[in-house]
Amino acid sequence: METALRPANPATSSISSISSAAAGASTAAARATAVRPADPDSRVVTQVAPAAAPLKRGIRWDTRLQGDVARAQQAIDYLARVASQLEALKSDLSARITGRGDPARQIEARSQQLAGALEARRKQGGGGIDAQLDFDNEPARTRFRIRGFDIATLQAAGQQTYAFSVGGAGGPQLAASIEPGMTPEEIAARLDRTLSPVKVRVALDSKQELVFSAPEEQWSGIKDAVAISGRGRVDTVEERAVIAPEEWNLGNPDALRQSLREVVQALARVRRSQDTASAALSAAMARTEQPAIPDAELAAIAGDFAATAASHDYQSLLAITSALVGVSRERVQALLGLRY
């Protein structure tokens, strides 16, 4: 899949890159040139000529833009494949439950195919899709709960201060005081502020229960290394994936109906994520739009480059040839052949 950014005007981007190299070359050349003294017999070089100001013409790029576009594009492709597999499974399961067919082997094959796609989520999904198939254009996070550390327990305990250690990081600076009368929202917000320095976030689920989350790439080092004062090391329970085909039992009608419910729920989640990923991609691509550079400025850029290229100064030629590595005749012809 192609994820490279394309500016609104590729030719402009290429000329801008070359002109930047020319500017750097001019600066290097100026620094290498010494001012000769008035007395020809003098052997002392009095001053080095001031460096030429670098060109400021060019295109500004958002440093996060490439990653945002790539993440959204890969998520869209991955979610489309998963949605297609879920639709096929939904159809086959419905047919078997209603007696319109008996595609048992086909259901089993599709289930295995879906399980493989879900297993490859981190590698193929762009890093922005979590185990619940949610996408929010940020690196995916693993959701988990801490056994015995819930809203009801915290509210019943009265005034308490809890110090946390997460993956070896913690101490007094990771401490939260829970006071009598605090609402679930207030408790979640206080814990979230306390744990955010170690990249653990806290929120409430639809049942007003605490749910924690940590970056997926760090989860393996966190899941068995969470400790709370007065409790020691606590048990963390990773939130179950939205769908788990490898756990299905397709041998009876009740199991088939449960599998169908999971497929329908997962498909609805995927559809929402597709909409979110498409919106994120559109927003990112809008950031790539660049104002048109006037013809006069383009001509000045070309003139600067031509003047530098005509120089026989080693530093200038070195800067230019380095900038042109990988610029082939075919690429230049393709840029010149574009129509706007």
- Residue in the structure block whose two tokens are 């493989």: 116
For residues 221 and 280, state if they share a domain. no
For residues 16 and 100, state if they share a domain. no
The pLDDT assigned to 271 comes to 97
d(C-alpha 317, C-alpha 321), whole Å: 6
Q: Is residue 276 part of a domain?
A: yes
Residue 326 reports pLDDT greater than 80: no
d(C-alpha 337, C-alpha 329), whole Å: 12
The pLDDT assigned to 318 comes to 77
14 compared with 159, residue with greater pLDDT:
159
Residue 140 reports pLDDT greater than 50: yes
Bridge partner list, 228: 164, 232
pLDDT 10s digits, 262-304: 999 999 999 999 999 999 999 888 877 666 677 887 788 788 7
The pLDDT assigned to 91 comes to 94
Which domain covers residue 312, as residue numbers? 10-60+294-336
Q: Is residue 186 part of a domain?
A: yes
d(C-alpha 17, C-alpha 21), whole Å: 7
Bridge partner list, 232: 228
d(C-alpha 50, C-alpha 26), whole Å: 11
User: 316 phi and psi, to 5 degrees?
Assistant: -65, -50
Q: Is residue 89 part of a domain?
A: yes
Report which residue type is found at 65. L
For residues 183 and 249, state if they share a domain. no
Instruction: Give 71-93 as a DSSP string.
Output: HHHHHHHHHHHHHHHHHHHHHHH
Sheet with 210-215, side-by-side order of all strands: 201-204, 210-215, 141-146, 236-238
Biggest CA–CA distance in the chain, Å, is 107
d(C-alpha 250, C-alpha 5), whole Å: 45
Q: What confidence tier does 89 reach under pLDDT thresholds 50, 70, 90?
A: very high
For residues 129 and 145, state if they share a domain. no
Q: Region 92-115: what's the mean pLDDT?
A: 89
Q: Is residue 3 part of a domain?
A: no
Q: What confidence tier does 62 reach under pLDDT thresholds 50, 70, 90?
A: low
Q: Model pTM?
A: 0.64
The pLDDT assigned to 101 comes to 75
- Which CATH number does the domain housing residue 162 bear? 2.60.40
